[in-house]
């Protein structure tokens, strides 16, 4: 599903203070896996995630998503990949302000060109799934952190993507709410969706089937978790 | 898609009401002035044409003018001018100029010779001699207020008199000094209660003016049209209309036998402008020996186009100012859109992460700019129309609003929004998704 070979990411390339945040990272994830990425702050987790999500490009190395290399794709083609294959969940939710929960969930469908009625039907279904149906008409400002994150998860699922990329989705939530969000991810994963999740919480990481540890831009460990989710 | 974007744009404008309003201000001012100018301009030229349409454009005023008074080609309306009795416009002479003596004026022989010389090219020379400004025509107890004029047959054509019954004063009335009169429908109504115009023909009326009483037989009744411009508060029964009698009859009581102005009516198909200068040339030799006075001529056609030209020029000048304020308004839209794009960088990043193409983002912001401009335009139209209406009613001219102008203005303001919104929208569209998402 995810095949990243020799990924290197550097900033300020060619200048004296060149900064290499990812060093020859090889990252492979099979379909249906639930992978947790852990590591110290600044170790390059988000950087890696953004590359995997086709939001950012590696300085060198090859990356293929679902068998399709992304290097040569145009901006519009990358937009289409993000739209159809990837669902993002962010630490700070990134819901569109002033737009209702329902309309937020509809966004990926909107950009895919799905008609209004079908968009709404699908979005309501997803809000139901994350138990947010009663708040469909509320704007983000009127929701708690956990509620926002549940809406964001519903949104990430809107286009039925093969992969969910979540960068510290529980980072802004208390541990109880965090567990609830993790529970949703576990359920989604059981449906056969691939999940890559960044977390600082070792307890949550152990709920995944596989934990990858990054340190200083390099993968230092990659282990299966017994009793964790599908690995 | 467009509809979604419009809803989205309205939502974000409502979130920043004050800012949106201030942004629209430039456009509002621009559109308001454009619409107000157009309304006033259209109404004014309509009113001018309406005022002058009582005369044919083929009317040429021929009048005595001091020779030293070189007016060049200054159009009449830029000087003070008076409607002449015979059916034209004659400029007022300067206060410093001396009044012409009787022998400086045009004699009847001169006028007849002039008419003869231009036979075929003019349809006659209209002459009028005011007899009494405020007279009363009576039949027993009932009366009608009238102004009495002595006129000739050509007067009918020059003043576009429309008869509803009988005939106008004709040449034999003038030659035979007949005591006949042509009156208005209104006068008939007031003087012979319930009488039809046809029934009034052949009846007699008495005029009371300047202490004298005259008796005339009615031979014609003309159509009374209330001027659009008259806002008189006079009661219907006191409305004053003109009563025409043969000019020769009027002359009998007159000390002054000569004329200071007449109006020639150009025949169909004759070039009025060149005919006017030919008439001036003709009189130049007639008045060659008069040191102080000569005869000048001007035509309605030139006057009308001069007025229209002047109005157009004024409109152009103000339109230019309006265009500048629209430009400033457009730049205001651009400025606020740039601010908006910066403020919403994270939102743009999120949208791109969710699969928005560059074109989606561009369309979203262009739509927002267009909506700002169109709302500004609509407010401008409302203010412009009401401002124009106020000005028009102050100027006492009829109100004219062109629906095409209104529609065009809305389209135009949308174009301003699209034009000035494109750059910020494009900037938003080209943001790198990851940079946009990380933007603090
Ligand atoms: N645009 C950038 N320009 C320069 N350096 C950057 C940029 N983005 C990230 N970095 C650097 O890359 C390194 C890795 O950052 P990254 O955000 O991937 O860390 P992380 O593992 O997600 O940390 P955290 O757990 O705190 O979120 C950091 O040292 C950061 O300073
Ligand atoms: Mg991070």
Q: What is the CATH number of the domain that holds A149?
A: 3.40.50.300
Closest Cα partner for B163 from B128, B206, B201?
B201
Cα separation, A9 vs B174, in Å, equals: 110
**Is residue B382, in this structure, part of any structural domain at all?**
yes
Domain that residue B404 falls in = 2-50+309-438
A93–B contact, CB cutoff 8 A: no
Distance A43 CA to ligand 2 centre (A): 8
Cα separation, B121 vs B103, in Å, equals: 28
**Is residue B102, in this structure, part of any structural domain at all?**
no
**Is residue B145, in this structure, part of any structural domain at all?**
yes
Record the tokens describing residue B66, joined without a space: 């001091």
**Is residue B57, in this structure, part of any structural domain at all?**
no
Instruction: Determine phi and psi for B402, rounding to 5 degrees.
Output: -95, 115
Residues whose CB is less than 8 angstroms from the CB of residue B246 and which lie 6 or more positions away in sequence, other chains included: B150, B151, B152, B169, B173, B174, B177, B178, B180
Cα separation, A91 vs B395, in Å, equals: 67
Cα separation, B363 vs B222, in Å, equals: 66
Task: Check CB contact under 8 Å for B353 and A94.
Answer: yes
CA B212 to chain centre: 40
Residue of chain A with shortest Cα separation from B358: A76
Q: Are residues B431 and B320 in the same domain?
A: yes
Record the tokens describing residue A231, joined without a space: 């690995």
CA distances to A193, A215, A216, B197, B199 from B140, in Å: 110, 121, 120, 18, 17
**Is residue A22, in this structure, part of any structural domain at all?**
no
**Is residue B166, in this structure, part of any structural domain at all?**
yes
Per-residue pLDDT of chain B (440 residues; tens, 9 = 90+): 778 888 888 888 888 888 888 888 888 988 888 888 878 877 777 777 666 666 667 888 888 888 776 555 565 555 666 777 777 777 776 655 677 888 889 999 999 999 999 998 998 899 998 888 888 888 778 888 899 999 999 999 888 888 999 999 999 999 999 999 999 998 888 888 888 989 889 998 888 887 788 899 999 999 987 654 455 567 777 888 899 999 999 888 788 889 988 999 888 888 888 899 899 999 988 888 888 888 888 887 777 777 778 878 887 887 788 888 888 889 999 999 999 999 999 999 999 999 999 999 999 999 999 999 999 999 999 998 888 888 877 776 667 777 888 888 889 899 999 999 999 999 999 999 999 999 88
**Is residue B118, in this structure, part of any structural domain at all?**
no
Q: What is the ipTM of this complex?
A: 0.94
Record the tokens describing residue B304, joined without a space: 């009308």
Domain that residue A85 falls in = 33-54+75-224
On whether the CB atoms of residues A27 and A52 are closer than 8 A, the answer is: yes
State the smallest CA–CA distance between residue B12 and chain A in angstroms: 7
Ligand 1 pocket mutation pick from A10, A12, A20, A21 by most atoms within 8 angstroms of CB:
A21
State the smallest CA–CA distance between residue B321 and chain A in angstroms: 38
Domain tally, chain B? 2
pTM for this prediction: 0.72
pLDDT tens digit sequence for B282-331:
998 888 888 888 888 888 777 777 777 887 888 788 778 888 888 888 99
Q: Are residues B240 and B328 in the same domain?
A: no
Full DSSP string of B251-302: HHT-S--SBSEEEEEEPTT--HHHHHHHHHHHHHHHTTT-SSEEEEEEEHHH
| The domain boundary residue, chosen from B258, B291, B319 | B258
Residues whose CB is less than 8 angstroms from the CB of residue B287 and which lie 6 or more positions away in sequence, other chains included: B293, B294, B295
Record the tokens describing residue B342, joined without a space: 């910066």
**Is residue A150, in this structure, part of any structural domain at all?**
yes
Give the other-Cβ count within 10 Å of A3's Cβ.
Answer: 17
Domain tally, chain A? 1
Tell me if A215 CB under 6 Å of ligand 1: no
Q: Are residues B243 and B362 in the same domain?
A: no
pLDDT tens digit sequence for B43-68:
777 777 666 666 667 888 888 888 77
Strand A86-89 to A163-167 pairing = parallel
């Amino acid at each position: 599903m995810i095949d990243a070979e020799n990924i290197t990411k550097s900033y300020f390339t060619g200048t004296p203070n060149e900064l290499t945040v990812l060093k020859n990272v090889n990252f492979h994830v099979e379909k249906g896996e639930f992978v947790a990425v852990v590591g110290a702050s600044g170790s390059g987790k988000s950087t890696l995630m953004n590359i995997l999500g086709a939001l950012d490009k590696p300085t060198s190395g090859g990356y293929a998503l679902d068998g399709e290399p992304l290097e040569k794709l145009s901006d519009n083609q990358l937009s289409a990949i993000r739209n159809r294959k990837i669902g993002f969940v962010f630490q700070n939710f990134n819901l569109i302000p002033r737009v209702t929960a329902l309309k937020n969930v509809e966004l990926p469908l909107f950009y895919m060109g799905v008609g209004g009625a079908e968009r709404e039907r699908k979005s309501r279904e997803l809000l139901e799934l994350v138990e947010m149906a009663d708040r469909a008409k509320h704007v983000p400002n009127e929701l708690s952190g956990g509620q926002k994150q549940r809406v964001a998860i519903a949104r990430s699922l809107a286009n039925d993507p093969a992969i969910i990329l979540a960068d510290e989705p529980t980072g802004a939530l208390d541990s109880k709410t965090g567990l609830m969000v993790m529970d949703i991810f576990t359920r989604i994963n059981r449906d056969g969706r691939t999940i890559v999740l960044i977390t600082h919480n070792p307890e949550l990481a152990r709920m995944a089937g596989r934990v990858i540890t990054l340190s200083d831009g390099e993968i230092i460990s990659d282990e299966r978790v017994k009793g964790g989710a599908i690995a | 898609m467009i509809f979604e974007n419009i809803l989205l744009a309205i939502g974000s404008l409502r979130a920043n009401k004050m800012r949106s309003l201030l942004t629209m201000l430039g456009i509002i001012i621009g559109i308001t002035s454009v619409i107000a100018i157009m309304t006033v301009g259209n109404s004014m030229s309509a009113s001018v044409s309406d005022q002058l349409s009582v005369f044919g454009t083929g009317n040429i005023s021929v009048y005595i003018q001091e020779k030293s008074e070189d007016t060049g080609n200054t159009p009449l309306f830029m000087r003070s001018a008076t409607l002449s009795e015979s059916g034209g416009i004659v400029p007022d002479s300067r206060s410093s100029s001396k009044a012409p003596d009787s022998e400086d004026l045009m004699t009847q022989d001169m006028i007849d010779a002039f008419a003869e010389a231009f036979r075929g090219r003019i349809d006659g020379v209209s002459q009028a001699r005011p007899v009494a400004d405020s007279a009363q025509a009576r039949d027993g107890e009932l009366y009608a207020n009238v102004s009495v004029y002595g006129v000739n047959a050509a007067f009918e054509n020059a003043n576009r008199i429309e008869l509803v019954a009988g005939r106008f004063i004709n040449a034999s009335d003038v030659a035979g000094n007949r005591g006949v009169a042509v009156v208005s429908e209104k006068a008939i109504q007031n003087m012979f209660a319930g009488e039809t115009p046809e029934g009034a023909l052949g009846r007699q009326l008495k005029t009371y003016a300047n202490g004298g009483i005259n008796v005339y037989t009615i031979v014609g009744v003309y159509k009374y049209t209330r001027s659009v411009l008259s806002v008189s508060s006079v009661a219907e029964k006191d409305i004053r209309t003109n009563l025409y009698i043969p000019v020769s009859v009027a002359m009998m009581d007159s000390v002054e036998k000569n004329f200071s102005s007449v109006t020639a009516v150009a025949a169909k198909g004759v070039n009025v402008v060149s005919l006017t200068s030919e008439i001036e040339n003709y009189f130049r030799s007639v008045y060659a020996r008069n040191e102080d006075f000569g005869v000048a001529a001007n035509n309605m056609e030139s006057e009308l186009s001069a007025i229209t030209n002047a109005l157009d020029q004024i409109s152009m000048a103000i339109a230019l100012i309006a265009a500048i304020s629209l430009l400033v308004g457009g730049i205001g839209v651009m400025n606020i859109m740039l601010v908006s794009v910066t403020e919403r960088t994270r939102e743009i990043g999120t949208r791109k992460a969710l699969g928005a193409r560059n074109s989606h983002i561009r369309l979203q912001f262009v739509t927002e700019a267009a909506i700002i401009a169109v709302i500004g335009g609509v407010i401008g139209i409302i203010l412009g129309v009401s401002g124009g209406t106020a000005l028009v009613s102050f100027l006492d001219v009829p109100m004219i609003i062109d629906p095409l102008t209104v529609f065009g203005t809305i389209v135009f303001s949308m174009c301003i929004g699209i034009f000035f919104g494109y750059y910020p929208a494009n900037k938003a569209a080209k943001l790198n998704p990851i940079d946009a998402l990380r933007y603090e």
